[in-house]
Amino acid sequence: MPSPLSIRRVVLYKHGVGYFERRGKVTGSETAHLDFKARDMNDVLKSMTVLDLNGGSVSAVSYDSTKPLEQLLSEATIRIPEHGSLTALLGQVKGARVRARVGAAQVEGAIVGLESLPVVQGEASVVRPFLTLLVGASLRTFDVLELGELEFLDEAVRKDLEFYLATVMSSYKKDSKRLSILTAGEGSRELFVSYVLESPVWKTSYRILLDEGKPPLLQGWALVDNTGDEDWVDVELSLIAGLPVSFVHDLYNPRYLRRPVVEVRSETGVAPVIPQEAHESAFEPAMDMEAEDGFGSQGAAPMASIMPMAAPAPAPRMRAKGGPMIGGGGRGGMRETLEQSTAVTTLTKEVGDLFEYGVDRPVTVHRNQSALVPILHRPFEGRRVLLYNRATREKNPMACIEFKNTTGLTLEGGPVTITEDETYVGEAMLDTLKPDDVRFVPYAVELSCVVSVEQDLEDGPVFRARLGRGTLIVEFFHQRRTKVLARNKAKRPQVLYVEHPRTGWELKDTAAPAETTDGFWRFKRELAPGASDTLTVTERTKGQRQYYLGNLGLEEVTFFLDSRFIDPRVAQALRDVVAMREKLSQVTRDVQRLDEERTQLFKDQERIRSNIDSLKSGASQRELVERFVTKLNAQEDRLESIGRELERLEQERTRLQTEANQRIESLSYEADL
């Protein structure tokens, strides 16, 4: 039975859901049915509101089980095969009471069985089914093909048959689930149902008409898609801009909690007591199981009781009226034709960040079709300008519309097509705009304007010197100069905005920009017909160089003094440090020389001892040994002297190094140059 509840209102959102309202008439305790896709059931159960608007009540809302078709059919007591359905059905309901009409007579009885008997037709014999009924105390047999009507009198059999047929019928729409609204009341009443479903995001598309001497005209269209299984016929359509919170929660599938298992404690027979042995009865503890949420696919669907609720308050509305964008009856008449054929009246209201576009005429969108609906038609404050960004295009600026949203509406982002003097001139993307927001909307390359850029980088003079903790730091400015040369080859004057990147440098000796964004300075230039213009942007940022004083020489000290990085007092202290470092270097050289001499003496002693060990006894060899021993003694004396000298030099080197470091660390100086 088709649902009496037709779609009356549709509200589409930008975050992928749609709000639907249905209204229809019910009489008495009539049940209203709605069919939904299985994937939509969670949203429907989460958001559905049902109201009886004329004094009746809604007792419950039931919906199809989540069980698969095969299992639902297996639970039915009746099976009807594809072929021989009548005879197969009658064979399954033995004992059921029926009323049979044979010709003009009616017979009531209980089904005994069904059998096939041969019947002679002419010269042939044909097997035909016969139904046997217990009528009173008599058995009567009837040709099934001669029965005009067979009515089941047992309500249980009738309900089983209706359930089986309804289940089979629902299988023809495998993805469809039926929701039944059970009502109670008297007479004819109006029923209101609303819910939220996942829906395609509505989209926006714009047209901008430029005319010399007139404010630009903006026309907006909304693109909506009906992907459902039902036509939208003369519905009230609203479009919401904003991003409310929405989510999916599983309410459709049955949810079970696993319960603990508790067993009955039973007593066993008493065994005889055996001395020196103790027997204990071991009881298995009850299973300790945590409660879990399970999404069962085999359980029967519960009845969803939905309490009557207040009807949802309508969202803020903007009503639009209009038709498709067309050309006029001649050049110069397009704007007037647009204003007449697509006159759009807008009533605006904002609630938080939400903004609604409402269409004031009924809208029809058939299933699996889309529609283009006008939502605004207004002039706005704007003009044609040029915008140059070197990263976008190096040689030419972009033709743009300097767009200020004076429509009073929140404009959703979308593509925009620009027409100038009834000629298509380009396309662009419009960002989401709140009232009074300003954007540059580039739509074409302006070939009549040629731009070239020159850039140089240099370091300026040192403006500050700081000396401390043994390091001299000098500060200066990196300076960058950018020249933008623009030549207007057009025969009309043009306004050029030059976007210069903001990289953390500061402007120096440059006119203030007309606008400043997060990433750019925008400099405004007026270009006369056939004229050229040069914009010079000078920027600077701080830089510094560091010098470690422990590595300086006299030439560096002289350079620092001549450059006024240091004063004469600091220069003299640095000269003293340089002198200490020279002494330190001399001491280091002396230490190195003595180390080399000592190493050579050790080698000579090893050679002499080796020679002494190789000599044999004899007068001449004793004299040679004595000479070697004398030389060894002299070398030992020299080694002792070298050791004392090295010790003195190490002390001197440590003293000089410490004194130089202390002198360097104690120096402090700062000067602005």
Helix axes 619-666, 568-614, angle to 10 degrees: 160
Please determine, for residue 335, whether its predicted confidence score (pLDDT) is greater than 70: no
Q: How confident is the model at residue 480 (pLDDT cuts 50, 70, 90)?
A: very high
Name the nearest CA neighbour of 346 among 323, 379, 320: 320
Residues of the chain above pLDDT 70, percent: 80
Please determine, for residue 566, whether its predicted confidence score (pLDDT) is greater than 50: yes
List the single range of 2-6, 210-214, 302-306, 487-491 with lowest mean pLDDT. 302-306
Please determine, for residue 613, whether its predicted confidence score (pLDDT) is greater than 90: no
List the single range of 97-111, 170-184, 218-232, 481-495 with lowest mean pLDDT. 170-184
Q: Residue 128 has what pLDDT?
A: 84
Q: Residue 223 has what pLDDT?
A: 92
**Rounded-to-integer distance, Cα 610 and Cα 616, Å:** 13
Q: Between residues 74 and 385, which one has the greater pLDDT?
A: 385
CB 194 within 8 A of CB 22: yes
Largest CA distance in the chain: 168
Give the pLDDT confidence of 521-547 residue by residue, as tens digits: 999 999 999 999 999 999 999 999 988
Q: How confident is the model at residue 269 (pLDDT cuts 50, 70, 90)?
A: very low
Give the pLDDT confidence of 60-73 residue by residue, as tens digits: 888 766 555 555 55
Please determine, for residue 489, whether its predicted confidence score (pLDDT) is greater than 50: yes
3-class DSSP string for 547-607: EEHHHCCHHHHHHHHHCCCCCHHHHHHHHHHHHHHHHHHHHHHHHHHHHHHHHHHHHHHHH
Q: Residue 171 has what pLDDT?
A: 60
List the single range of 112-126, 140-154, 248-262, 425-439 with lowest mean pLDDT. 248-262
Q: Between residues 513 and 301, which one has the greater pLDDT?
A: 513
Q: How confident is the model at residue 83 (pLDDT cuts 50, 70, 90)?
A: low
Give the pLDDT confidence of 275-287 residue by residue, as tens digits: 343 333 334 444 3
Cβ-Cβ contacts under 8 Å for 607 (sequence gap 6 or more): none
Q: Residue 315 has what pLDDT?
A: 37
Dihedral sign, Cα of residue 222, residue 228, residue 230, residue 235: negative
Residues of the chain above pLDDT 90, percent: 28
